[in-house]
């Protein structure tokens, strides 16, 4: 029996995007949003921030050439990021749900508890 694939977030050096072909691959697999087709701005943003993040499912973290990930939107596709482009890796067993907590949650309870209209006297 194989282990389920873990979720992964990889911080990648901006130089990984130097190839327009790589930008097309990342766009086709859903790693770059479909509306973001201005390659120069994407590369410039990655350079300004010292890299960019790729997320997906971890395929092989121990390959000698690099880390293999599968995009969440296309699990049949596997992308290898050479180790010299990888800056950091974060993995998780389960996908985390975004939860509201703190003041936002208390505020929503107050709204739900208060009547919408003032009762007639």
Distances (CA, A) of 31 to 59, 82, 107, 111: 16, 17, 35, 38
Provide the pLDDT for residue 112.
Answer: 53
Q: Does some domain include residue 82? A: yes
Which helix (H) or strand (E) segment is 59 a member of? strand 52-60
Q: Does some domain include residue 43? A: yes
Roughly how many angstroms between the first and final C-alpha of the chain, as a whole number? 69
Mean pLDDT (whole number) for 50-58: 90
For the chain, what is the domain count? 1
What residue numbers bound the domain in which 65 lies? 7-113
pLDDT over threshold 70, residue 37: no
More confident: 114 or 66: 66
pTM tops 0.75, yes or no: no
Q: Does some domain include residue 118? A: no
Q: Does some domain include residue 2? A: no
Q: Does some domain include residue 108? A: yes
């Amino acid at each position: 029996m194989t282990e389920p694939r873990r979720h992964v977030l990889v911080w990648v050096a901006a130089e990984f995007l130097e190839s327009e072909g790589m930008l097309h691959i990342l766009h086709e697999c859903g790693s770059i949003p479909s509306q973001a087709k201005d390659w120069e701005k994407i590369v410039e943003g990655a350079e300004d921030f010292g890299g960019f993040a790729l997320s997906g499912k971890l395929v092989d973290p121990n390959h000698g050439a690099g880390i293999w990930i599968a995009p969440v939107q296309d699990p049949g596709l596997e992308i290898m990021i050479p180790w010299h482009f990888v800056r950091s890796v974060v993995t998780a067993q389960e996908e985390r749900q975004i939860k509201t907590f703190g003041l936002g949650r208390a505020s929503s309870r107050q709204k739900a508890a208060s009547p919408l209209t003032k009762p007639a006297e």
